Amino acid sequence: MTAGHHEEIVRSIDEIIALDRLGCLQRWREVFGRPPPKYLSSQFMQRVLLWEVQDRTLGGVSRKTDRALARVAAGKASPAPAKPGAHLVREWNGRTYQVEVIDGGYVMDGKTWRSLSAIARHITGAHWSGPRFFGVS
């Protein structure tokens, strides 16, 4: 963070903290382009405005982090990856396939594979998402 950014943030913090309710409502409209949700306290509006100042000045979170947060908020968080030693089992066309998770890959029928998708393609002859095929996504 540059000295200019620091000074800008400090100045904005001082301005926002000094706002009364009417000032918070006005600043909210300026920053977000719409009125705030009803019944927000002045203190809460100040906190959101302070966060927004820092976010805009310092750059915010990465797109990857933003997408991950959106998935979590929507209740679609990715499950934790299978840990080494775990066994994944899938039945396909009357045959049961068992895959062991190891560090850096997977083992099926004594052969080491780098990805579940490669195993799924080997089993089915078609492109599949390996995690989806084995039910871990």
Check whether residue 100 and residue 51 sit in a common domain.
Answer: no
Give domain status of residue 67, yes or no: no
pLDDT over 70 (residue 122): yes
Give 90's strand partners: 97
Check whether residue 56 and residue 94 sit in a common domain.
Answer: no
Quick check: 133 and 116 in contact, CB under 8 A?
Answer: yes
Q: What are phi and psi of 129, to 5 degrees?
A: -75, 120
Give domain status of residue 13, yes or no: yes
- What are the tokens at 81? 């990856």
Check whether residue 52 and residue 14 sit in a common domain.
Answer: yes
Give domain status of residue 73, yes or no: no
Check whether residue 52 and residue 93 sit in a common domain.
Answer: no
Give domain status of residue 10, yes or no: yes
Of the residues 60, 77, 105, the one at which a domain ends: 60
**104-119 pLDDT per residue, tens:** 999 999 999 999 999 9
**10-57 pLDDT per residue, tens:** 898 999 999 999 999 999 999 999 999 999 999 999 999 999 988 888
**Cα angle 26, 32, 37; round to 5:** 75
Give domain status of residue 80, yes or no: no
Q: How confident is the model at residue 1 (pLDDT cuts 50, 70, 90)?
A: low
| Global pTM exceeds 0.85 | no
Q: What is the number of domains present in the chain?
A: 2
pLDDT over 70 (residue 123): yes
Check whether residue 56 and residue 91 sit in a common domain.
Answer: no
Give domain status of residue 74, yes or no: no
Q: How confident is the model at residue 68 (pLDDT cuts 50, 70, 90)?
A: confident
Domain containing 97 equals 87-133
